[in-house]
Amino acid sequence: MRLPIAAARGDGLFAVRAAGNSMDGGKRPVRDGDWLIMKFARGASYDALDGKVALLQIPDRDLGYAYQIKRLVRDRSRWWLRSDNPDAPSYEATAETVPLAILVEVVRPEDIGPSPGERFEDDDAAARAFGLEEPPRTGRVGGHLFFCLEAPGALVAPDRIRSPLPAQERRPGETAFVLVRPPGEPTWRTLGVARYLDDEGLWDCPGIDHAAYRALGSGRGASRSLPAGARERARSLVEELLRRPGAGAFVERDGTRCRIVGRADGDGLRIDGGPGGFAERAVSLTDLAWVLVARDDVGKNGGRLDEQRVDRLRYLEGTPRAATRWIDTGWALALAAAVHPAGEG
């Protein structure tokens, strides 16, 4: 297997694949499936590794030894194996904790292959694009896992794939490159990288676009799946809106306004235009949740929180505007701003 290394040079380098998201945080996040370029550091002292991400050997009751990627940090007189993901646990180092290597570079699977949407004129072009000696096919080629999809129904949701291979063949942390060639199309094109979701038994592929899903999908939707916890946050937003400003209050947006009527079926919010205004309609919990997801994206990457940003995150690339809930997205933005104005929370 060949990896595109940008900066790491010298002897003692090797690569491991991250399994899990305990280090997905901070300035250099490590995600499940990322390749980690490590440099041997066996025998290095804790002091020499203070604050660095390292591969560490730890005792394991069942296996004898296990291996963790953690940041080694000192806290007064104690040493900790710190997770960069604030939601993941950290562990105190013991006399049996052995540093093996330090992290030099992170290679994301997305950096290895071509960008989503790229077409290949023939099999040789596809092989060159991935740095392979033979064309991609479903299965492992050159150490990388590929899904080459041609049959309708292969995409089970706008951002989900059911594996064409038995689940037990997947390796820990393994990702897959996805190529599609719908009926009637002469060439393959890539949809990017898919990651396995243990709780669903499916593969998450954010690079699926509108055209691919129409050709190979099993439904008519165009909205991606919400991140974990987003609906619960939207439900809390509804409760806040019903408390303050409350039912009967007006919320303004771009010179127009809506009135909060009450809770909608499915825990969304019913609104109308007030006397002489537009008829009652529902802003769904999903509409509100995607606004919160977009707000998070603004906090992480900067820019404006607007309808275009919400739609880019929510809908498949190439989705016609008429197929989106753009009216309710606008009202969802206004409702969210009534609780958390721009620049707050």
Per-residue model confidence (pLDDT) at position 323: 92
- Range in 25-39, 116-130, 311-325, 330-344 with the lowest mean pLDDT: 330-344
Rounded CA-CA distance 59/98 in Å is 9
Strand partners of residue 107: 35
User: pLDDT band at residue 343, thresholds of 50, 70 and 90?
Assistant: low
Phi, psi (degrees; rounded to nearest 5) at 52: -100, 155
pLDDT at 8 > cutoff 80:
no
Q: What's the pTM?
A: 0.90
The span from the CA of 24 to the CA of 11, in Å, is 27
Residue boundaries of the structural domains of the chain: 13-107, 110-216, 230-339
In the prediction, which pLDDT does 120 show? Answer: 98
Cis peptide before 86 (omega within 30 of 0): no
Mean pLDDT confidence for 304-318: 97
> The domain at 13-107 falls in which architecture?
Ribbon (2.10)
Find out whether 72 and 82 touch, Cβ atoms under 8 Å: yes
At residue 163, the 3 state secondary structure works out as coil
Residue found by looking up tokens 């987003």 in the block? 230
**What pLDDT was estimated at residue 342?**
66
Residue 268: burial class (beta carbons within 10 Å; 0-12, 13-18, 19+): buried
**Residue-level pLDDT at 187:** 97
Distance, CA of 99 to CA of 20 (rounded, Å): 20
CB 301 within 8 A of CB 225: no
The residue-averaged pLDDT of 305-322 equals 97
Name which of 327, 233, 344 is nearest 282 in CA terms.
327
Bridge partners of 283, per DSSP, are 269
Alpha-carbon dihedral sign for residues 312, 315, 316, 317: negative
Predicted confidence (pLDDT) per residue in 53-67, tens digit: 999 999 999 999 999
For the cut 60, the answer to whether the pLDDT of residue 180 exceeds it is: yes
The helix/strand/coil state of 101 is: strand
What's the Cα-to-Cα distance from 341 to each of 230, 251, 334, 335, rounded to whole Å? 19, 12, 9, 10
Say yes or no to pLDDT of 309 above 70.
Answer: yes
How many other C-beta atoms lie within 10 A of the C-beta of residue 135? Answer: 19
DSSP string, 66-129: EEEEEEEEEETTEEEEE-SSTTS--EE--TT-EEEEEEEEEE-HHHHSPPTT-EESSHHHHHHH
pLDDT, tens digit, for every residue of 225-273?
999 999 999 999 999 999 999 999 999 988 889 999 999 998 899 999 9
Q: How far apart are CA 41 and CA 48, in angstroms?
A: 10
Of 4-13, 97-106, 126-135, 152-161, the range with the lowest mean pLDDT is 4-13
Question: For residue 64, what is the enclosing H or E element?
Answer: strand 64-75
Give the whole-angstrom CA distance, residue 107 versus residue 105.
Answer: 7
Share of the chain above pLDDT 90, in %: 90
* Cα separations in angstroms, 213 against 149, 152, 195, 223: 11, 9, 18, 11
Which element (helix H / strand E) includes 109? Answer: helix 109-112
**pLDDT score recorded for residue 344:** 52
Tokens of 132: 């392979």
Nearest Cα neighbor of 23 from 56, 67, 69 is 69
